[in-house]
Amino acid sequence: MKIVLSTVAIALLMALFAAPVKADEIVPPVSADRPLILGAGVIYRDKTYRGYSDSDKVQPIPLILWENDTFFVRGGSAGWKAWTNETWEIAVLAEFRGDGYDSDDADILTGMDDRDKTVDGGASVGWRNGAWGVKATWVHDLAGKHEGYEARGEVSYTFTPGNWAIKPSAAVVYQSDDLVDYYYGVQTDEAVGFIRPAYSADEEVIYRLQTAATWNPGGSKWHILAGVRADFQGDEYDDSPITNDDVFLMYVLAAGYRF
């Protein structure tokens, strides 16, 4: 038990120093005979802040995927399977949130307080029948940063041509007003006339499309991972004086070795 808990703790600590991809959104679950994948890659996050620094859009990431019948570490998330069978999984989890900025990331943010990354915690319910999958997740801020919550519902389909596993999916993401306002609002003492007026954001719904792919050449232990995501944000994001777009894009490329 101590070894299991230590593994989960180490993975979460690594997540705090990078922007890890949630590996369960890119690769199929690990098998019982090879329960660990380790690797590294790069992630491109084109945040919607006006003039967001190009140097902060691309970052290295660790790739960690470990699983047994009870616990899991899936890149930026880790948790406990409260109940599972061949079709269902009910889990309690914690996951890294890579949102936020430093005030020097863009001119429009100069003079504002930094908005920090955090760890959210909650629960998920997943169902899978053949190639189809449905998953619902609810998480709340555990570190007292945005102090809000997020609820997600996702439908996915996985197909396996040749040495590929490809998983397109669509999701609806609801974010509370505390969460949206923390990352995209402008407090009264941060306002700068008409250039950056005060702005209080409300709750928002995001529509998400993404495709993830894994290439396993010749059945080897190496896996090449790639993913692309587009978040279509609503008016609460688009109306913020610190944004200039309502579409958030993310790309991932990584390699991992299955032990």
What would the pLDDT profile of 148-166 be if each residue is shown by its tens digit?
Answer: 999 999 999 998 898 888 9
Q: What is the mean pLDDT of residues 169-196?
A: 97
pLDDT score at 2: 38
Give me the mean pLDDT over the 181-185 stretch: 98
Report pLDDT for 75: 81
Residue 55: its pLDDT value, please?
83
- Give the pLDDT band (50/70/90) at residue 54: confident
Q: What is the pLDDT of residue 220?
A: 85
141 phi and psi, to 5 degrees?
Answer: -60, 125
Both tokens of 111, joined, read 């003079």
| Token pair listed for 65 | 């995927």
User: What's the CA gap between 241 and 5, in Å, rounded?
Assistant: 43
What 3-state DSSP class applies to 124?
strand
High-pLDDT (> 90) share of the chain, %: 68
Q: Phi, psi at residue 110, to the nearest 5°?
A: -60, 130
Higher pLDDT among residues 8 and 89, named by residue: 89
pLDDT at res. 12: 35
87, pLDDT greater than 60 = yes
Distance in angstroms (rounded) separating the CA atoms of residues 200 and 209: 27
Residue 47: phi and psi, rounded to 5, are -65, 155
Give me the mean pLDDT over the 27-52 stretch. Answer: 79
Phi, psi of 14 (to 5 degrees): -60, -35
Nearest-10 Cα torsion for 249, 18, 115, 172: 40
> Cβ atoms within 10 A of the Cβ of 150, count?
21
Query: Is pLDDT of 32 > 70?
Result: no
196/64: higher pLDDT:
196
Q: How confident is the model at residue 4 (pLDDT cuts 50, 70, 90)?
A: very low
- Lowest mean pLDDT: which of 20-24, 30-34, 47-51, 73-77? 20-24
Using DSSP, state whether 154 is helix, strand or coil: strand
What pLDDT, on a 0 to 100 scale, did the predictor assign at position 209? 95
For domain 2-258, is the CATH number 2.40.50.140? Answer: no
Given this model, what pLDDT does residue 217 score? Answer: 83
CA distances (Å), origin 160, targets 19, 67, 132, 219:
28, 22, 13, 13
State what percent of residues in the chain have pLDDT above 70.
Answer: 86
Does the global pTM surpass 0.75?
yes
pLDDT at 53: 87
Residue type at position 182: Y
Burial class (CB in 10 A: 0-12, 13-18, 19+), 123: middle
C-alpha span between 55 and 110 (Å, rounded): 16
- Measured between alpha carbons, how far is 84 from 107 in angstroms, rounded to an integer? 48
Tokens of 219: 């059945």
* pLDDT tens, residue by residue, 139-150: 999 999 999 999
Rounded mean pLDDT of the chain? 87
- For residue 10, is pLDDT > 60? no
In this structure, of 10-19, 83-92, 170-179, 216-225, the range with the lowest mean pLDDT score is 10-19
